[in-house]
A and B are shown apart, each in its own frame.
Chain A
Amino acid sequence: MSLDTVKHANETPDIDQPWAELGLKQDEYERIRAILGRRPTGAELAMYSVMWSEHCSYKSSKVHLRQFGEKAPENDALLVGIGENAGVVDVGQGYAVTFKVESHNHPSYIEPYQGAATGIGGIVRDILAMGARPVAVMDPLRFGAADHPDTKRVLPGVVAGIGGYGNCLGLPNIGGEVVFDSCYQGNPLVNALCIGVMKHEDIHLAKASGAGNKVILYGARTGGDGIGGVSVLASETFDSTGPAKRPAVQVGDPFQEKLLIECTLEIFREDLVDGIQDLGGAGLSCATSELASAGSGGMRVELDTVPLRDSSLSPEEILMSESQERMCAVVEPGKVDRFMEICEKWDVIATVIGEVTDGERLEIFWHGEQIVDVPPRTVAHEGPVYERPYARPDWQDALQADDAAKLARPATAEELRAQVLKVIASPNQASKSWITDQYDRFVQGNTVLAQPEDSGMVRIDEDTNLGVAVATDGNGRYAKLDPYAGAQLALAESYRNVAASGARPLAISNCLNFGSPEDPAVMWQFAEATRGLADGCLELGTPVTGGNVSLYNQTGETAIHPTPVVAVLGVIDDVDRRTPIAFSEPGHLLYLLGDTKEELGGSAWSQVIHEHLGGLPPAVDLGREKLLAEILIAASRDGMVDAAHDLSDGGLIQALAESCLRGGNGARIVVPDGMDAFVLLFSESAGRAVVAVPRSEELRFGDMCGARGLPAIRIGVVDGEEIDVQGQFTLPLAELREAHEATIPALLA
């Protein structure tokens, strides 16, 4: 086929174009024609189609995401907010931290290893593009039923891919989640988070300014893999037959990315770039249009200068290719030579592919002929926006009415004991060390806390011991019962986890995993969840710094549970003050903080014992969460607690089991007067934590809780080699450990 130039497009207005195959709707195609005043060229059509895909344009979610800005709490810590590659937060001492969570769900189902690996690669480049050194990753994961044969294909591949890529980059993996639920069968969720650290003055933005500045593409050569991959793949449902044309999945090269990181950091150190952007979904289409759109002036690109892995690629394919491990920088002419030298030092290929112009258009040429001439904002930032219809599903009332309170409870102490063991051994509650032991958590030598602690914590300054902590949480079962509350519970849990380890929560990122936006019921879940999250962030004072939306996670008519995953970032002035979860000293007193109510809707107990999902999730009280967090942080700072563990799915007994096993000590528990042992152990009331208090601190700690009005009940003591719930049952640690640790290896090894 001959080259479709702008000139040719002007001359042949009526040619049929494959807009539908590229995922555009009729009215979208018409809009492109209206913007351009002519039909788009093939290259322009390629750019618009990937950039206007759901994945890149957020066309269904945008109207709801706006609340994150509109309801943003006053917060001095936010240095860069939503809209950039990732948000940036001031953590003091001149340091800034950037973090973001992103999804790679669809590719990971098709090719688990590479899909997950390139998910890590992509989020790391986002963080790098902000000017930061990536310092840690986390991986919130959801899979189908643990015993489903396909889980045996998907999970080991995903875990090996995350490890294979992250370990090779030298990024400690300090936390994440592993959840099994048959709702994710065929739609596993592979979310990846990266944290980066920089000095305030090192912040970089994705914009191209200064006419005459050079546009440099550096990193891997561009190949034919993953053309339109992520964007198209993540923008429609595929059923068991698969989409007609399965776009290829990309293969990642973590070694190349490691070089890209070191090379880019050296370039930053010498202050050689004006603007920088990573190449992710939509590849060069995205990078060039976003850089040009965010900057002043236009951009001119000679596409035939792009280094290729496959010389037969067409310009359209080059624009759409999602080949990994590439970055695009805007560099003043006088700094180009030095830029190139540093790239050469790191064996990174770098090519000047164009320059910033004083015009207003993004112009792309192919062997001297113009194939793109567009206003960049219309590609990158002014895509279509949909007000998708949404409606509370008609089954929601019945679901909520199906109260978990009516489920049969254990009648005897033996039955209670058996249920405790069963819940603790269930795939969701069992130890995940078979998975997390495949991740390097030590590299970089700054890891203070890592899984299975409540949050991952890294030191960011060796001299002052300044550190940051991050936790990610999301409970799809709660969100299914009530998406508004479910999103707030995800936020609350993550916030609580950060506070439990002694860090002060500052800001959040999120990944919103939902079904098809074309289903009004799903859209309602999405609207409710975003509203809940925005309201929650306002109340807790933690702004949303960025995130990601993954839609179309469904097979046929069946969507996944709405799954908002929330990542909270906290700061701790002295990591020496961190609070671990381990009960490490016999004799320490155990306090249960917060109120325990009879709340079993969506609980681990209801799932494991009754395979039940119904009723309402635990009530949200963000005021209480704040108070609890303040107490936990103060207790950590002033050395009043030796251990703290947040209570969430599985309730008190789960937390006790984990803290006992981690510390190698048992606990004697007394059921407080007037409380039912079953409710005490299994309720999932929010706003709670268990802490271990040295006897010498008991008075001080009790006074603090009393003075501030936080319920704190003494429930026992760290002691012995078993969990002894007095008057009920005893569970030797050895038996508990076997139950907790054997499950996952038995399913997967």
Chain B
Amino acid sequence: MTARVGVVTFPGTLDDRDTQRAVRIAGLDPVPLWHRDKDLKQVDAVVLPGGFSYGDYLRAGAISRFSPVMESVIEQARGGMPVLGICNGFQVLTETHLLPGAMLRNNHLHFICREQRLRVENAATAWTSDYEAGQEISIPLKNIDGRYVADERTLDKLEAEGRVVFRYLDGNPNGSLRDIAGITNAAGNVVGLMPHPEHAVEPLIGTGRTDGLGFFTSILKKLVNA
């Protein structure tokens, strides 16, 4: 028995095929979802992949947020379905307010593509249970609008509730407040992060590390054991 993981394609999404591959490598069934369809095809979880949906014009994620598929994703996420937003997907999640805060242009104003070390701060979410709290992983980072901001109260609350899931190590790559690389909602089913686990699942490709596979094996265990 395995589980079905939906991967949404917006116009301008780039990492949808890569995310499907990562889902497959972890032993799950990837299900392509199209931005114009409200129907989530009975998936058990959804990934919003990276890219430049609608060109990231206006603001990253701002236009995609209003697509039909997101109506369903928002509704189901509120009902507890696991949702992972990677990079552009994270931006969409903040624009929909499923996750607090906002993403802004990197403080150095450049696109940055590099291998990024992270600390997994919370291993209790639907997407991180295969890691250990405090574990350090290294996966690719690639974005131009990756600076996470929120007001102090929100940040304090996130910290207090253990909702900072990933923190940047070895230098903050974009000026994100409190080195935040990823966060979760209060229920722990919705997770967003800027770096790309789906690009670190095969030893031969990209960075040559497989540190990102844990996201997908985590959700496999959660869904199949549930």
Contact = CB atoms under 8 A, between A and B. Distances in A.
A576 interface: yes
A459 interface: yes
A167 B111 contact: yes
Interface in B56-113: 56-57, 108, 110-113
A442 B206 contact: yes
A110 interface: no
B118 to A, nearest CB: 16
A163 B15 CA distance: 16
A749 to B, nearest CB: 8
B150 to A, nearest CB: 26
A255 B57 CA distance: 9
A164 B207 CA distance: 22
Contact of B21 (A255, A440, A445): A445
A270 interface: no
A445 B112 contact: no
Contacts of A168: 12, 14, 52, 55-56
Given A255-B52, A255-B55, A346-B11, A439 B111 contact: yes
A447 B205 contact: yes
A253 B52 CA distance: 12
Q: Which of A163, A255, A346 has the most CB of B within 10 A?
A: A255
B117 interface: no
A402 to B, nearest CB: 41
Contacts of B54: 255
Interface in A419-449: 437-448
A125 interface: no
A496 interface: no
A601 interface: no
Contact of A440 (B17, B113, B198, B202): B113
A535 to B, nearest CB: 38
A170 interface: yes
Contact of B11 (A160, A255, A446): A255
Contact of B15 (A255, A443, A448, A575): A443
A444 B11 CA distance: 16
A441 B114 CA distance: 9
Interface in A231-256: 253-256
Given A254-B55, A445-B21, A445-B206, A163 B14 contact: no
A258 interface: yes
B11 A441 contact: no
B11 A167 contact: no
B51 A170 contact: yes
A442 B12 contact: no
Contact of A448 (B12, B114, B198, B205): B205
B182 interface: no
B141 to A, nearest CB: 9
A415 interface: no
A438 B110 contact: yes
A437 B112 contact: yes
Interface in B182-219: 196, 198-199, 202, 204-207
A445 B55 contact: no
Nearest to B206: A442
Given A254-B55, A442-B206, A170 B15 contact: yes
A347 interface: yes
B165 to A, nearest CB: 21
A671 interface: no
B111 A163 contact: yes
A379 B206 CA distance: 46
B196 to A, nearest CB: 7
Contacts of B57: 255
Contact of B55 (A160, A253, A346): A253
Contacts of A167: 52, 111, 113, 142, 144
A459 B21 CA distance: 14
A259 interface: yes
B30 interface: no
A259 B11 contact: yes
A609 B11 CA distance: 52
B14 A170 contact: yes
Contacts of B140: 442
A36 B52 CA distance: 49
A462 B140 CA distance: 20
Nearest to B34: A345
Contacts of B114: 437
Contacts of A443: 14-15, 18, 142, 199
B111 A445 contact: no
B11 A445 contact: no
Interface string A146-179: 0000000000000010011001111000000000
A439 B142 CA distance: 8
Given A160-B110, A168-B52, A440 B12 contact: no
Contacts of A445: 15, 17-18, 21-22, 198-199, 202, 205-206
A523 to B, nearest CB: 40
A255 B18 contact: no
Interface string A400-418: 0000000000000000000
A438 B113 contact: yes
Contacts of B198: 445
A576 B55 contact: no
B199 A255 contact: no
B30 to A, nearest CB: 13
Contact of B18 (A163, A438, A444): A444
A441 B207 CA distance: 10
Interface string B1-30: 000000000011011011001100000000
A259 B18 contact: no
B52 A444 contact: no
B195 to A, nearest CB: 11
A253 B12 CA distance: 11
A452 to B, nearest CB: 13
Across the A-B interface, the 10 shortest Cβ-Cβ residue pairs: A255-B55, A170-B14, A445-B18, A442-B199, A168-B52, A442-B140, A438-B111, A440-B142, A442-B206, A163-B111
Given A255-B54, A444-B17, 7 more contacts: A160-B110, A167-B144, A170-B15, A437-B110, A438-B111, A445-B206, A447-B205
13 contacts: A167-B111, A258-B52, A258-B55, A259-B12, A347-B11, A437-B113, A439-B111, A442-B196, A443-B14, A443-B18, A445-B202, A445-B206, A465-B204
